[in-house]
């Protein structure tokens, strides 16, 4: 712990998780320095379908965490009226592919208290007039009226502004920053040019790079991160409000009248070269545009504006990994697939843990300790760390 009236936390990563954590820390009176390799939101957060949901079958702990995540967006809207432009809760619609059924998914959601309605194909226009009913499965579809979407670049900019207003410092375009570890303790960060920034606690929130960044520190976690892409269309003349998750394409609007598209089949077509560069086949781009046109009312002609390709962070077991890093004191990390839905809640919970030293019960099932043999790491693996305000 360094001397002074306020502890200092360094956050590495300018995506949704890093900026959210920085904003909550700064709000709590902590001195914060956020560093990011490029511009804010230029990584995975800037190329996400950004669907706010707890849809489908998942563990109770994960479902509850996601519900808390959605709640925080509603709280954000209440205190940031301008966010109505980039956070929307206009519902989401999903339906099964050929030979499949979503009836069991619907039953699961209803049993677990999730706001879920079964809509017959003939009634689709009553909840989603932006959808072509002919594209919907014959059995009907699930409509989740409480779901929505966010524009993460807009939210990240607002979070960074809040953090700076509360006293945080933000450094963009610093290149690859690494955690400075001395012995078994994180003592700051080292920027690409060799500049060292001392800190009492470090937060690693580098999206798909988290596994490699931790491996460089001797901590190995399972990684299921794939190459992926989303497609941004040119502005469209039709009004699209509903998030669509269909068998061949996912669709959501943007604040400026464009659409964001993705699909598992398209993601799997991304070609990864030996140097790590990614190529998105033109056939996949055209296929996404055609599939999106097919499911939208009026079947509008859609054109591509740009493709956002990169790595999509997914832990090896699919569940979030949040909190202290085993074996390294004063280092926390965040690594999760559902960064959009969990962006605000994880930043809040981790910031509170760092400030108070009290682990959140909401994160009990999502610790990094589940990935490592903790027997040799005691007492660090007990979950106890030093709160940054212990002075």
Residue 261: strand, helix, or coil:
strand
**What does each C-alpha distance from 300 to 15, 49, 68, 131, 137 come to in angstroms?**
33, 20, 36, 11, 20
Binning pLDDT at 50, 70 and 90, where does residue 385 land? very low
Residue 61 inside a domain? The answer is: no
What's the rounded mean pLDDT across residues 322-326? 98
Domain C-terminal end among 267, 296, 311? 311
Report pLDDT for 388. Answer: 42
In this structure, the answer to whether residues 141 and 230 fall within a common structural domain is yes
In this structure, the answer to whether residues 304 and 327 fall within a common structural domain is no
Report pLDDT for 5. Answer: 61
Token pair of 128 as six digits? 């989603």
Supply the CATH number for residue 216's domain. 3.50.50.60
Supply the CATH number for residue 304's domain. 3.30.9.10
Distance CA 119, CA 253 (A): 22
Q: How many domains in the chain?
A: 2
Structural domain containing residue 180: 8-46+153-224+317-382
**Residues in the chain, overall count:** 391
Binning pLDDT at 50, 70 and 90, where does residue 381 land? very low
Output the pTM of the full model. 0.93
Report pLDDT for 258. Answer: 98
In this structure, the answer to whether residues 166 and 202 fall within a common structural domain is yes
Residue 355: strand, helix, or coil:
helix
383 or 225: which leads in pLDDT: 225
What's the rounded mean pLDDT across residues 145-156? 98
Q: Judge whether residue 361 has pLDDT over 50.
A: yes
What's the rounded mean pLDDT across residues 157-168? 98
Q: What does the pLDDT look like over 48-70, one tens digit per residue?
A: 999 999 998 889 999 999 999 99
Q: Judge whether residue 373 has pLDDT over 70.
A: no
In this structure, the answer to whether residues 127 and 258 fall within a common structural domain is yes
Residue 103 inside a domain? The answer is: yes
Q: Any residues with CB less than 8 A from the CB of 48 and at least 6 apart, and which?
A: 152, 230, 339, 340
Residue 252 inside a domain? The answer is: yes
Distance CA 16, CA 344 (A): 8
What's the rounded mean pLDDT across residues 150-176? 98
> Phi and psi of 95, rounded to 5°?
-145, 160
In this structure, the answer to whether residues 163 and 235 fall within a common structural domain is no
Q: Count CB-CB contacts under 10 A for residue 349.
A: 26
In this structure, the answer to whether residues 271 and 304 fall within a common structural domain is yes
Q: Any residues with CB less than 8 A from the CB of 226 and at least 6 apart, and which?
A: 267, 268, 311, 312, 314
In this structure, the answer to whether residues 128 and 158 fall within a common structural domain is no
């Amino acid at each position: 712990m360094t001397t002074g009236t306020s502890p200092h936390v360094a956050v590495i990563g300018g995506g949704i998780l890093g900026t959210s954590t920085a904003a909550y820390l700064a709000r709590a009176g902590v001195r914060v320095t956020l560093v990011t390799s490029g511009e804010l939101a230029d990584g995975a957060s800037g190329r996400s379908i950004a669907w706010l949901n707890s849809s489908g079958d998942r563990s109770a702990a994960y479902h509850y965490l996601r519900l808390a995540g959605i709640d925080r967006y509603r709280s954000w809207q209440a205190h940031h009226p301008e966010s109505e432009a980039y956070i929307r809760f206009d519902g989401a619609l999903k339906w099964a592919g050929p030979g499949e059924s979503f009836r069991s998914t619907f039953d699961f959601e209803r049993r677990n208290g999730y706001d879920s309605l079964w809509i017959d194909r003939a009634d689709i226009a009553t909840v989603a007039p932006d959808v072509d009913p002919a594209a919907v499965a014959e059995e009907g579809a699930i409509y989740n009226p409480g779901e929505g979407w966010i524009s993460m670049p807009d939210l990240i900019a607002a979070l960074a502004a809040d953090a700076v207003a509360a006293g945080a410092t933000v450094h963009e375009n610093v290149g690859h920053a690494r955690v400075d570890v001395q012995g078994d303790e994180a003592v700051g960060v080292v920027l690409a040019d060799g500049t060292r920034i001392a800190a009492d606690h470090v937060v690693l929130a580098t999206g798909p790079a988290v596994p490699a960044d931790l491996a460089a520190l001797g901590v190995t976690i399972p990684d299921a991160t794939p190459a992926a892409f989303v497609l941004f269309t040119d502005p469209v003349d039709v009004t699209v409000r509903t998030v669509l998750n269909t068998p061949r394409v996912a669709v959501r609007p943007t604040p400026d009248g464009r659409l964001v598209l993705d699909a598992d089949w398209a993601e799997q077509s991304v070609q990864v070269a030996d140097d790590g560069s990614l190529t998105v086949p033109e056939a996949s781009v055209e296929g996404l545009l055609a599939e999106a046109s097919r499911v939208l009312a009026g079947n509008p002609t859609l054109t591509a504006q740009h493709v956002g390709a990169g790595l999509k962070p997914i832990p090896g077991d699919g569940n979030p990994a949040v909190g202290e890093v085993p074996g390294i004191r004063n280092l926390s990390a965040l690594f999760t697939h559902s960064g959009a839905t969990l962006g605000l809640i994880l930043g809040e919970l981790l910031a509170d843990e760092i400030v108070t030293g009290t682990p959140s019960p909401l994160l009990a099932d999502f610790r990094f300790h589940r990935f490592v043999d903790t027997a040799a790491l005691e007492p660090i693996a007990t979950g106890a760390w030093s709160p940054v305000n212990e002075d």
